[in-house]
Chain A
Amino acid sequence: MNQPIKGGRGVNALPFVAPSVVILFIWMIVPLVMTLWFSFQRYNLLSPELSGFVGLSNYSFLLTDPSLWVAMANTLLLVGGVLAITVVGGTLLAVLFDQDFFGSKVARLLAIAPFFVMPTVSALIWKNLLMHPVNGVSAAIARALGLQPVDWFGQWPLFSVTVIVAWQWLPFALLILLTALQSLDHEQKEAARMDGAGPIAIFWWIVLPHMGRAIKVVVMIETIFFLSIFAEIYTTTGGGPGLASTNLTYLIYLRALLEFDVGTASAGGVIAIVLANIVAAFLVRSIARNLDA
């Protein structure tokens, strides 16, 4: 497949590829070097005269600041929570929508719709129309059942953000896993059924192993995105109450754009880059394997 076409020898493809590569390289390397550089500087936009090399003190300031660890824990809870919901829910939904039922094509379209809703819109719908403690649908349901309406964003801020993000990303998991499921050989399932395997046995021993790779890809891609969750927090809780729903991305945003502390924000940026790259290394390796196939 990768053979150059006949008569293509001697054609220099470099001029075609170079613009993209050069521009992407600049887009990657300039911010990276600047972030690294600033992370070793004292630099606050409000007092620019107090600048200079400070070694690792931005890092030690950040690493000894309890808010970093709160933000880290929140990041892990958010990523882990949404991953658990979307992978388990996505797998079940994919199996469901793989079946042919009355109007299944239309139902599938409705089910994937949340993925195309911009994060600021979904955050506001959930915050105001659905989860509002007085006028929201959840409050109305609670009152109808004779329960006390819950102030979701006040009492369970991180959980509420998790729900919103999970709602947006369930369709993504569904789409990817459904695509993987549709490439499953149906004769294999048929053969297992002939041998007397029940639906649960078939799911556990045939369907799930087949989807393993796709689930891995979903987990890795979602992790990359979930480490950077921002708009959902920005539009609903603003990171609060206190730091209760502040993740790493939001903490760096607070430092950089609200406190103008470029040095500390950059050190946080470096930490975020390191975290994302650990995940990315696995993802890239898994995709590289597919590129050879």
Chain B
Amino acid sequence: MRLKLDTHAALSVTGWLAAGLLFFPIAWMLLTSVKTEIEAVATTPSLIFTPTLENYVAVQERADYLKFALNSVVVSFGSTLLALALAVPAAYGMAFFPTKRTRGTLLWMLSTKMMPPVGALVPVTLVFRDLGLIDTLAGLVVVYALINLPIVVWMLYTFFREIPREILEAGRMDGATPLDELRFLLLPLALPGMASTGLLAVILTWNEAFWSLNLTAAHAGPLTAFIASFSAPEGLFWAKLSAASTMAVAPILVFGWLSQRQLVRGLTFGAVK
């Protein structure tokens, strides 16, 4: 008994130590965001200080912070909705009316995700330039919808396959057409699955930085680009940088905590259960 208690204590200490180390950079960012700029760059960092919200106010007052944040919201939710609109019918068709080609189609979709973005950088930049889509929200929405489409189709497909077929068969017997079935039976049943799929797509888009850094400038840049612009004036705005970073990260962190299970399913294409 005595030994058991000791192992438990040792385990708790090790576990919290590991978690603390991993979380430390985020905690330090939170802490720095409520310091004054002078305290933030002090060579002997202080743990005891009077917290201030002046950095949040300052970042808020820079009118562009809100604009970038709004761009992030529009791009992540817009692209997720577009991807869902394309993916729901596709996943439905493949889950409930599979053909000989279904398996091949699913694997092919997965393989398009393997294309390194840098392989498409030059063509996409040139096509976007010719279409006038560089630095537009519409352009980013389309790019992210396409990037996430395979993951969204796959996740929805696995959710749809878990829906008991008997319910759909009963509906079919009562004369429901495939479209009725999709609207009145499947969507309500699949809503939780669709919500978590959407959540994952929002998280991935919110944090993606390759395309947002390369396809935007002053107008359509999301928060990833806004934060990156802080890398130039070094050392002067750490507290404000931390405040802006906290605001950029906080909502997605909460989303991420809520959807960690689905994340495993979505990111491994169901290969790990």
Given A134-B43, A176-B272, A265-B121, A118 contacting B209 (CB threshold 8 A): yes
Residue from the set A108, A124, A127, A172 with the largest chain B CB neighbour count within 10 Å: A124
- Residues of A contacting B: mostly: helix
Does A19 lie within 8 Å of B86, measured CB to CB? yes
Does B114 lie within 8 Å of A103, measured CB to CB? no
Does A231 lie within 8 Å of B224, measured CB to CB? yes
Residue from the set A118, A143, A277 with the largest chain B CB neighbour count within 10 Å: A118
Does A20 lie within 8 Å of B22, measured CB to CB? no
Given A4-B98, A129-B25, A283 contacting B114 (CB threshold 8 A): yes
* A145 sits at the interface (CB 8 A): no
Q: Compute how far the CA of A171 lies from the CA of B19 in the bound complex, rounded to whole angstroms.
A: 10
* A119 sits at the interface (CB 8 A): yes
Q: Which of A60-68, A76-84, A188-196, A251-259 contacts B (4 or more CB under 8 A)?
A: A251-259
Closest chain B CB from A272 CB (angstroms): 5
Please, which residues of chain B bring their CB within 8 A of the CB of A31? 115, 119-120, 123-124
Given A101-B8, A139-B43, A35 contacting B15 (CB threshold 8 A): no
Closest chain B CB from A128 CB (angstroms): 6
Given A118-B209, A121-B248, A20 contacting B235 (CB threshold 8 A): no
Q: Which residue of chain A lies nearest to B255 when distances are taken between CB atoms in the complex?
A: A116
* B51 sits at the interface (CB 8 A): no
Residues 22-68 (chain B) with a chain A CB within 8 angstroms: 22-23, 25-26, 28-29, 32, 41-45
Residues 207-265 (chain B) with a chain A CB within 8 angstroms: 207, 209-210, 213-214, 223-225, 227-228, 230-231, 234-235, 238, 241-242, 245, 248-249, 252-253, 255-257, 260-261, 263-264
Please, which residues of chain A bring their CB within 8 A of the CB of B203? 116
Given A27-B112, A183-B273, A252-B118, A16 contacting B90 (CB threshold 8 A): yes
Q: Which residue of chain B lies nearest to A127 when distances are taken between CB atoms in the complex?
A: B231
* B159 sits at the interface (CB 8 A): no
Q: Which of A154-162, A200-208, A284-292 contacts B (4 or more CB under 8 A)?
A: A284-292
Does A96 lie within 8 Å of B18, measured CB to CB? yes
Please, which residues of chain B bring their CB within 8 A of the CB of A249? 116-118, 210
* B195 sits at the interface (CB 8 A): no
* A167 sits at the interface (CB 8 A): yes
Residues 204-237 (chain A) with a chain B CB within 8 angstroms: 213-214, 217, 221, 224, 227-228, 230-231, 234-236
Q: Compute how far the CA of A175 lies from the CA of B200 in the bound complex, rounded to whole angstroms.
A: 15
Closest chain A CB from B130 CB (angstroms): 12
Interface string of A23-36 (1 = CB under 8 A from B): 11001101110110
Please, which residues of chain A bring their CB within 8 A of the CB of B89? 15-17, 19-20
* A170 sits at the interface (CB 8 A): yes
Residues 235-253 (chain A) with a chain B CB within 8 angstroms: 235-236, 248-249, 252-253
* B20 sits at the interface (CB 8 A): yes
Closest chain B CB from A253 CB (angstroms): 7
| Choice from B19, B29, B118, B271 contacting A108 with Cβ under 8 Å | B19
Q: Compute how far the CA of A236 lies from the CA of B173 in the bound complex, rounded to whole angstroms.
A: 62
Q: Which residue of chain B lies nearest to A251 when distances are taken between CB atoms in the complex?
A: B118
Q: Can you list 14 A-B pairs with a CB-CB distance of less than 8 A?
A: A17-B105, A21-B90, A21-B105, A32-B119, A35-B119, A110-B23, A117-B253, A128-B234, A129-B28, A135-B42, A179-B264, A236-B231, A249-B117, A266-B122
Question: Given A97-B15, A116-B249, A124-B230, 17 other A-B contacts at CB below 8 A?
Answer: A5-B96, A5-B172, A20-B86, A96-B18, A102-B8, A113-B257, A122-B25, A125-B26, A135-B42, A139-B43, A171-B22, A217-B268, A228-B118, A248-B118, A257-B125, A273-B115, A276-B119
Q: Report the 8 A-B pairs with minimum CB-CB distance, sorted nearest first.
A: A16-B93, A13-B93, A280-B114, A231-B209, A116-B256, A34-B123, A13-B97, A31-B120
B interface, CB within 8 angstroms of A? 8-9, 11-12, 14-16, 18-20, 22-23, 25-26, 28-29, 32, 41-45, 86-87, 89-90, 92-94, 96-99, 102-103, 105-107, 109-127, 146, 149-150, 153, 161, 165, 168-169, 172-173, 178, 203, 206-207, 209-210, 213-214, 223-225, 227-228, 230-231, 234-235, 238, 241-242, 245, 248-249, 252-253, 255-257, 260-261, 263-264, 267-273
A interface, CB within 8 angstroms of B? 1-2, 4-8, 11-17, 19-21, 23-24, 27-28, 30-32, 34-35, 38, 93, 96-97, 99, 101-104, 107-130, 132, 134-135, 137, 139-140, 143, 167, 170-172, 175-176, 179-180, 183, 213-214, 217, 221, 224, 227-228, 230-231, 234-236, 248-249, 252-253, 256-257, 262, 265-266, 268-270, 272-273, 275-277, 279-280, 283-284, 286-288, 290-291
